[in-house]
Amino acid sequence: MAKVRVLFVCQQCGHKVAKWLGKCPECNEFNTLVEEVQKLDEGIRRPLLSEERPMSIAEVQPVDRPRVPVGLPELDRVLGGGIVIGSVCLIGGDPGIGKSTLILQLCEKVARQGRRVLYVSSEESIMQTKLRADRLGVGAPELYLVSETNLDMIRRYLEEMRPALAVIDSIQMIYRPEIPSAPGSVGQVRECAADLTFVAKRHGVSLFIVGHVTKEGAIAGPRTLEHLVDAVFYFEGDRFQSFRVLRGVKNRFGSTNEIGIFEMLSNGLREVPNPSELFMSQDRIGRQGSVVVPSFVGSRTLLVEMQALTTRAAYGMPARRVTGVDLNRVAILIAVLERRCGLGLGGQDVFVNAVGGVQVEEPAADLGVAVAIASSFRGKAVDAKAFVLGEVGLSGEVRGVTQAQARIVEGRRLGFERAVVPADNTRGLEAPEGLTVVPVRNLREALDELQ
């Protein structure tokens, strides 16, 4: 076994000391020292890739990094078209959200293609994993299970088995014996992840690492973990609702705008082919403060129901609370409604909610939010057969949005009959059959049209 020593490295300034101290002697920051293992015979160098010398970019032979499509279109889209061979991905998510379920279903799909898959469970016994696998209908013979927490053992399995795909569920329980601190500590997580990444890259193993998230919602352990890997995904959702969203946060091989939508059922995660239906209730007729907005997420459009509620403020400062939309934009829209349309919102509490827990941050939803607030304030329902899109400027003008064509097509597909769109967008816009396009130039026109 290689000789190693443990050093403590300051996360702030990079200063190294031989024993742990509460305060870095170099930069005087507290609690910044973290263990790092150094192989004495290897020096501090840990090469990730084999290229030895600098070479001209013209000399570098492009290697086509093949992708393995998993066969779950929602997942493949988020991955950027499939798993890139030799890549390392990190999946984070709240406890119990379904990370192990997703990963196990992914392993099954890859193993059914005849590729060897190693699932390392560090939190559950093989029996527990098997029980879950039975519930999910997972049973490909090429899928190997092991329950292990010692990094040296995991490394040995990877080197001996050379699987096409390996999964570590989760990194927080893996420990490197040379490091004295407990599994899950910053030093352990960082060292273990770096080591596994190194082994995976050297042997062309695609690696998925599951990580827990902290109370603040970031992946637990140092931020460096996210720098180390090729792609970072978050598996999110409301635990009290059945659907889950897989969101790309970083991807060296694809877009990070994509989301994959799944529904959690007793026999596992099912892909949701028509997600717009999830974010919209069917019986919206006559409901005040509710309007549908086509929002662009990644490469597709989702129809999202925007809801607003206004009530007289009981205490001094009126409250403005939002979920799923940007609070600053809502504050601007309230000011615009007040000044340009004469709505007396100054003494009103305003609440805005994007239904279903989606995040709609693009300006194209402005008009929808403004219309929903006005609808609630005036106590008049919006035409339930209409949807709206448009960015609202400070003088109350409605500005054009991107991808207007795709948005109205999706709206028509789900049965809407009227689209209120910015006048700027109507040039070149082809209305699908059965859909009336109503161009508006400012917020006042839009309100008159819809209420």
Ligand X SMILES: Nc1ncnc2c1ncn2[C@@H]1O[C@H](COP(=O)(O)OP(=O)(O)OP(=O)(O)O)[C@@H](O)[C@H]1O
**What residue ranges bind ligand X (CB under 6 A)?**
93, 95-101, 123, 135, 264, 266
Q: In this chain, which stretch among 21-29, 98-106, 181-189, 341-349 interacts with Mg ion, using CB under 5 A? A: 98-106
* 157 vs 148: CA distance, rounded Å: 10
Q: What angle do CA 16, 6, 227 make, to 5 degrees?
A: 70
Residue number closest to ligand X, CB atom: 100
Closest distance between ligand X and the C-beta of residue 266, in Å? 4
Q: Does 206 bind Mg ion (CB under 5 A)?
A: no
**Which residues, other chains included, contact 46 with Cβ-Cβ below 8 Å and sequence gap of 6+?**
194, 198
Closest distance between ligand X and the C-beta of residue 101, in Å? 3
The residue (of 100 and 442) whose beta carbon lies closer to ligand X is: 100
Q: In this chain, which stretch among 19-27, 100-108, 312-320, 321-329 interacts with Mg ion, using CB under 5 A? A: 100-108
* 362 vs 391: CA distance, rounded Å: 9
Closest distance between Mg ion and the C-beta of residue 267, in Å? 17
264 binds, among Mg ion, ligand X, none (CB under 5 to 8 A by kind): ligand X
Q: Does 100 bind Mg ion (CB under 5 A)?
A: yes
* 160 vs 162: CA distance, rounded Å: 6
The residue (of 122 and 442) whose beta carbon lies closer to ligand X is: 122
* The token pair that represents 449 in the structure block: 């049209």
Q: In this chain, which stretch among 99-107, 237-245, 317-325, 336-344 interacts with Mg ion, using CB under 5 A? A: 99-107
Closest distance between ligand X and the C-beta of residue 269, in Å? 9
Inter-residue contact 372 to 290 (CB < 8 Å): yes
The residue (of 100 and 442) whose beta carbon lies closer to Mg ion is: 100
The residue (of 234 and 416) whose beta carbon lies closer to ligand X is: 234
DSSP one-letter string for 59-106: TPPPP---EE--S-HHHHHHHTSSEETT-EEEEEE-TTSSHHHHHHHH
Inter-residue contact 107 to 134 (CB < 8 Å): no
Query: Which of 45, 46, 37 is CA-nearest to residue 16?
Result: 37
Per-residue CA distances from 129 to 89, 102, 111, 149, 186 (Å): 21, 13, 16, 15, 27
3-state class (DSSP) for residue 431: coil
- Which backbone phi and psi does 183 adopt, to 5 degrees? -55, 145
> Where is 144: in which H helix or E strand?
strand 143-147
* The token pair that represents 242 in the structure block: 């059945």
The answer to whether the bond into 276 is cis (omega within 30° of 0) is: no
Closest distance between Mg ion and the C-beta of residue 123, in Å? 6
Closest distance between ligand X and the C-beta of residue 124, in Å? 8
Closest distance between Mg ion and the C-beta of residue 289, in Å? 39
* 110 vs 89: CA distance, rounded Å: 15
Closest distance between ligand X and the C-beta of residue 103, in Å? 8
* 450 vs 383: CA distance, rounded Å: 6
Query: Which of 83, 80, 89 is CA-nearest to residue 209?
Result: 89
The residue (of 129 and 276) whose beta carbon lies closer to ligand X is: 129
Tell me the residue length of the chain: 451
246 binds, among Mg ion, ligand X, none (CB under 5 to 8 A by kind): none
101 binds, among ligand X, Mg ion, none (CB under 5 to 8 A by kind): ligand X
The residue (of 99 and 190) whose beta carbon lies closer to Mg ion is: 99
Inter-residue contact 175 to 134 (CB < 8 Å): no
Residue number closest to Mg ion, CB atom: 100
The residue (of 100 and 353) whose beta carbon lies closer to Mg ion is: 100
Residues 158 to 197 in contact with Mg ion, rule: CB under 5 A: none
The residue (of 110 and 220) whose beta carbon lies closer to ligand X is: 220
The residue (of 32 and 100) whose beta carbon lies closer to Mg ion is: 100
Closest distance between ligand X and the C-beta of residue 102, in Å? 7
Tell me the site size for Mg ion, rule CB under 5 A: 1
97 binds, among ligand X, Mg ion, none (CB under 5 to 8 A by kind): ligand X
Closest distance between Mg ion and the C-beta of residue 100, in Å? 3
442 binds, among ligand X, Mg ion, none (CB under 5 to 8 A by kind): none
The residue (of 124 and 449) whose beta carbon lies closer to ligand X is: 124
Which residues contribute to the site for Mg ion (CB under 5 A)?
A: 100
